[in-house]
Amino acid sequence: MLLNHIKTLPEYRAFLEKNPDEVEALRRDMLIHVTSFFRELDQFEVLKKSVFPTLIQKKSSKTPITVWVPGCATGEEAYSLAIVFQEFLGKKAPLRRIKIFATDIDEGAIRKAREGLYKKDVINHVSPQRLRLFFTKKNNGYQIKRAIRALCEFVAHDVTHNPPLTNADLISCHNLLIYLGQGLQKKALIRMHQALAPHGFLVLGKAEGLGEASKLFHTIDSKQRIYSRKDTGVISAPEDLRNTINAQAGKSRLPALKPFGTTQPEVLQQSYRQHNISKLKEALSLTQEYANEIIDALDIMNKELQSAIEELQASNEELEVRNEEVTRAKDYVEAIVNTVRESLVVLDNNFRVKSANKAFYDTFKVTSEEAKNTLLFDLGNKQWNIPELRVLLKKILPQKGMLNDFIVEHDFKTIGQKTMILNARTLEQGPEKSPLILLVIKDITELQKGEKALRESEERFRMLVESVKDYAIFMIDLKGNIQVWNKGAENLLGYTAAEIIGKNTAQFFTPEDRKAGSFKKELATAIKNGWAESENWRVRKDGSRFWATGVTTAVYDEAGKIVGMSKIVHDITERKRAEELLQAQKEIFQTLNDNATLGLFIMDEKHHCTFMNPAAEKMTGFTFEEVKAANKPLHDIIHHTRPDGSYYPMCECPIDRALPQKSRIPGEDVFIRPDGSFYPVAFMASPILDKGKPIGTVIEVRDTTEEKKAEEERRWLERQKDEFIGIASHELKTPVTSIKAYTQILQHRFQKAGDMKSAGMVGKMDAQIDKLTSLIGDLLDVTKIEGGKLQYHEGLFDFNELIGEIVEEMQRTTAKHTLVQQLAKAKTIAGDRDRIGQVVTNFLSNAIKYSPHADTIIIKTKTNKERVTLCVQDFGCGISKEDQEKVFERFYRIIGSDQKTYPGLGLGLYIAAEIIKRHNGKIWVESEKGKGSTFCFSLPLKQQKL
C-alpha cells in the first residue's frame, strides 16, 4: 500500500481487483521460506530408529518408499530426508527405491529447489562428513550431488487442494500449519490423511499439532510430533427406503381396513378412522425421520464419492507423473546400458537375442539387424557356439537363476583370442510371460595381460629389491614391527629374515636415541606427513655402530588409509667421516687462509674477483667488499698502469692470460695501491677448469719489495766480491809464479848438494804452491766466466785419447785408487780440448777426494748418432738429494756424513758446468747417500760455434 500510495484497505482491495500483477506480488510477499538443512536433528535420529525400520520391513525391495514434503520451500527439508535415508540404508541404498515428492505453492522456490545449489551460509548446519559425501563445491557455494537430487521431485502444489499422491509412506510437514488458520489447518490435515497409506507416518514441526484433526491419527511420539494414519472406516449406503420403512413400521403393522359401505356403526367407523389416521401420521412422521437420515447418509456418501473421485484424479495425475518417470527412467537406463563398457545382451527363453547394447555390437563385430531374434549360438557364423556357454545357459542357469563371474576363454574368428567373465540372471516378466535372460559379458583379456604384466613387474621389483646389497629395504607395520626383510638388510644389520621378522625396528637405534624417543618421533612423523627422513647412528646385531641415513615412507590401501610403511636404510659411515674430514680441512684451510702471508685471489671467467684472503687485502690496501663493489675486472683495480704512468692493457698482463691459455703461468709484475704507489710482486696464476672449460683463475701473490731490496744488495755484494777476487787473483798470480820459480831453484840446489831432506821439504812446498796456483786459476776462470771473458779454442780432437791422457795423469796422483776405463768406440768431437779436459780432471779429482775409503773409480763413455756421454763413478760418501740440486752452484761445498768439510773453494763443478753449457752440453749427477756418486756430461757430436 505504501509503495502504491494507498491509505485504506477498501482502496487497496479495489486496486487489487484491477491489477493482477499486484495480486501476485502480494501473494509472493505473504509466502514464508523459513527452512534449513537438518533443522531438528533429534527428530531425524528418532526417524532412523523407529520409522525407517518399519517402512523397510513393510515394503519389499521392488516397491518404492514414497514420501511427501508439503511446503518444501527451497528444498532443504526434502534433501535432508533423502540424505538421512541414504545414511540409514548405507551399502543397501542402491537396492532400495526412494521417491520424495516435495511441493510448495511458490514456483520460484520450486525452481531453486530443483537446482539444489546453496550458498555457504545456508549449509552451516551440515557436518563436514555430509558435506564431503553429498555435496559438490560449485562456484561460491555447494550443490547437492546428482544421486541425491534424483531421489527428489519438486512440484508446485497447494496443500489445501487434492494431494499430489496417494498411499504415501511418510509425510514430513514442518512449520507450515502454524501459518494457516484453524479451518485451513484442518483441511490440510484431512488432505494429508487422504494421501497417506494405511498406517503411513506423519511428521510435524515441534511447534505444530493436530488440533481438530486428532481423530484421524494415532500418536507415535508426542515429543517429536510423529503420528500414524488412523483408519476412520466408510459410511455404508442406506437400504431401500421401503425396506427401511417396513423394518421400522413392522413392530405395529396397521390392520387391514374394510371397504366403505359395510355395516358398522358410524361412531365405530369414525373412531376407527381416527385411529387409522393417527397411526398413519405416526408412520409418516417415522418415515420422514428415516428419510432425513437417508438423505444425510446420501449426502455423506456423495461427499465420500467426491473425495474418491478427487483421489482418483490425483491418482491419474500421479500415474501420469509415474509414466513420465518411467519414460525418463527407461531413457536413463538405455543411456546407461549403451554407455557401460561391458557387453549386455538380453535373450528369450529360447536363447534368441532380444536386444543388446552398443558395447556388445562393437566388441563382437555384429550389427543390431544381424543379432535380433538370432539364436545366440548361431550369431556371427556360429562363433558364439561355445560348449561351456551352452552348458551354463541350458543347465546351470535354470537351476540357480543366476551365474556369477564364470570365466570363459574362446578364440573368435573375427576378434581373436578372448578371455571373458560371464554373469547371467533370469528376469521374470510375470506369471503369463516367459522369463528373459540377461547376459553380462566383460572382456578381461587386456586386464589379464595387465595383471600378468603387473605380476611380472612385481616379481622383477622383488628381485630388484632382493638384489640390492648396499641398502636395507624392509616393511614395517604402524607400530614398527618388521614384516618384510631383504638381503641388503641382512647384509647391513646382520639379522636373517627368520630372526628379525616380527621384531621391532627400535632395536636398531642406539640406547640413547631410544631413551630420547627418536624412534617414536620418526614413526609419528611418517604417519602424519607420509614420510620421514633421519640420519643417525644405528646398531648391528653384533653391537657395532654405523652412521646411517634412513627414509620411512607410508604405504596406503585403495581407500587411502595408511596400512604400513616401507623403510630404506643406507650405511654412510665413510661419507660421514669424509664430511667430518672435509669440515676439519675447511677449518684448517680457514686458519691457513686467515694466517697466510701469501695473497690469494680468485677470479671468475670475466676476471672479476670472487675471493680475497686477509693477506691479499693487507697487501693491496683494498678490502674484498671494495673490490666486489667496484664490479669490474681485478686488473682494472690493482694493475691498470705501468710504473712509467702508461696504460697497461689487460690483454698484455700475464696473470690474465692464464685463463684463456688453460695453463699455470708464473711471473713477476707491479701492482698499484689505493694511494697510487707501486710495489713489485711475484705471482703464480692457475686456471680453474670444469671438464676442460676454464671458469676462473686462482692467483697466488707475494710482495717482493723486501726481496728486491735484498737481491739488489746481494748483487752489489757479488759485484764487489767479483771485483775483489779478480784483483786479488791477478795480484797473487805474479808473486806466486815467482815463488814457484825460486822454490824449484832452491830444490835443485838442495838436490845438487845432497841435502835430500831439505829438497823433500821444498818439494812439498812446491806441491802446495801448485794447489795455490790451481785455486788462483779457478778464481780467474770464475771472474772470466762472470765477465764473459773466458776464452775457448775450438778444434777437432779424439775424445777417447783425451780421456786416456787425463786418466794416466790422475792415476799417478793416487796409489790407493784404481781408475777403470770402460770406453765406447772412439769418436772425434769438436770443442775446446783443454777446457773439456779441465772438466774431466775435476770429475776425477773429486772422485778421488770424496771416496777415501774406496779403491775403484770407473770412467765410462757411450755414444749415439747425436751425442757422446762421459760418466765418472765413485763409491764414496755420496750426495743427498738436497745437495744434488746445489752442487753445481758457485762456492758450494759438500759436507760429509761425519760433518767433515772437504778442502776446496767450491768452484770446480761450477766452472765445469759453465764449460759444458758453453759447449751446448748437459751436466748432471746421480747419487745416493753413503753409496757413492756418478757425475756425467754429454756433448753434441756436431758442435755449434762456441
Query: Given 578, 600, 626, which residue is the final one in a domain?
Result: 578
The more confident residue out of 641 and 489 is 489
The tens digit of pLDDT for each residue in 373-419 reads 888 888 766 777 888 777 877 776 777 677 788 887 888 877 788 88
Average the pLDDT over each of 274-288, 812-826, 901-915 and give the range with the smallest value.
Answer: 274-288
Q: Identify whether 106 is part of a domain.
A: yes
Q: Identify whether 219 is part of a domain.
A: yes
Kindly indicate the confidence band of residue 496, based on its pLDDT and cuts at 50, 70 and 90. very high
Distance CA 239, CA 243 (A): 7
Kindly indicate the confidence band of residue 253, based on its pLDDT and cuts at 50, 70 and 90. very low
Distance CA 208, CA 185 (A): 10
The tens digit of pLDDT for each residue in 159-206 reads 888 788 888 999 999 888 888 888 888 888 988 998 899 889 999 988
Position 628 scores a pLDDT of: 92
Write down the mean pLDDT value for the chain.
Answer: 81
Q: Identify whether 57 is part of a domain.
A: yes
* Contact present, 880 and 929 (Cβ < 8 Å): yes
* Contact present, 671 and 638 (Cβ < 8 Å): yes
Q: Are residues 112 and 147 in the same domain?
A: yes
Q: Is the pLDDT of residue 32 over 80?
A: no
* Contact present, 830 and 939 (Cβ < 8 Å): no
Query: What CATH number corresponds to the domain at position 161?
Result: 3.40.50.150
Q: Identify whether 555 is part of a domain.
A: yes
Q: Are residues 805 and 881 in the same domain?
A: yes
Q: Is the pLDDT of residue 34 over 70?
A: no
* Contact present, 840 and 923 (Cβ < 8 Å): no
Q: Are residues 89 and 152 in the same domain?
A: yes
Position 856 scores a pLDDT of: 95
Query: Given 531, 558, 578, which residue is the final one in a domain?
Result: 578
CA nearest neighbour of 126 among 141, 115, 111: 141
Q: Are residues 196 and 47 in the same domain?
A: yes
Spacing of C-alpha 470 from chain mean position: 23
Half-sphere exposure of 652 (CA within 13 A, CB side): 9
* Contact present, 50 and 226 (Cβ < 8 Å): yes
Q: Are residues 45 and 194 in the same domain?
A: yes
Cell for 763? 818439494
CA nearest neighbour of 103 among 59, 66, 144: 66
Q: Are residues 552 and 642 in the same domain?
A: no
Q: Identify whether 50 is part of a domain.
A: yes
Distance CA 352, CA 354 (A): 6
The residues pairing with 144 across neighbouring beta strands, listed in sequence order, are: 135
| DSSP 8-state class, residue 392 | I
Position 775 scores a pLDDT of: 59
> Exposed, middle or buried: residue 192 (CB in 10 Å: 0-12, 13-18, 19+)?
buried
Q: Are residues 51 and 87 in the same domain?
A: yes
Q: Are residues 612 and 499 in the same domain?
A: no
pTM over 0.85: no
Query: Given 204, 229, 254, which residue is the final one in a domain?
Result: 229
Question: What's the number of domains the chain is made of?
Answer: 5
Q: Are residues 509 and 549 in the same domain?
A: yes
* Contact present, 83 and 148 (Cβ < 8 Å): yes
Backbone phi, then psi, for 274, in 5-degree steps?
-60, -40
Q: Are residues 81 and 185 in the same domain?
A: yes
- Averaged pLDDT, 5-31: 69
Q: Identify whether 17 is part of a domain.
A: no
The tens digit of pLDDT for each residue in 49-68 reads 999 999 988 888 778 899 99
* Contact present, 470 and 452 (Cβ < 8 Å): no
Q: Identify whether 4 is part of a domain.
A: no
Half-sphere exposure of 750 (CA within 13 A, CB side): 15
Cell for 482? 618388521
CA nearest neighbour of 343 among 407, 438, 448: 438
Q: Are residues 187 and 54 in the same domain?
A: yes
Query: What CATH number corresponds to the domain at position 513?
Result: 3.30.450.20
Q: How far is CA 859 from CA 103, 806, 810, 821, 897, in A?
A: 131, 11, 12, 5, 25
Distance CA 41, CA 172 (A): 14
Q: Identify whether 329 is part of a domain.
A: no
The tens digit of pLDDT for each residue in 92-108 reads 887 788 999 999 988 88
% of the chain exceeding 90 in pLDDT: 26
What domain range includes position 571? 468-578
Q: Are residues 88 and 209 in the same domain?
A: yes
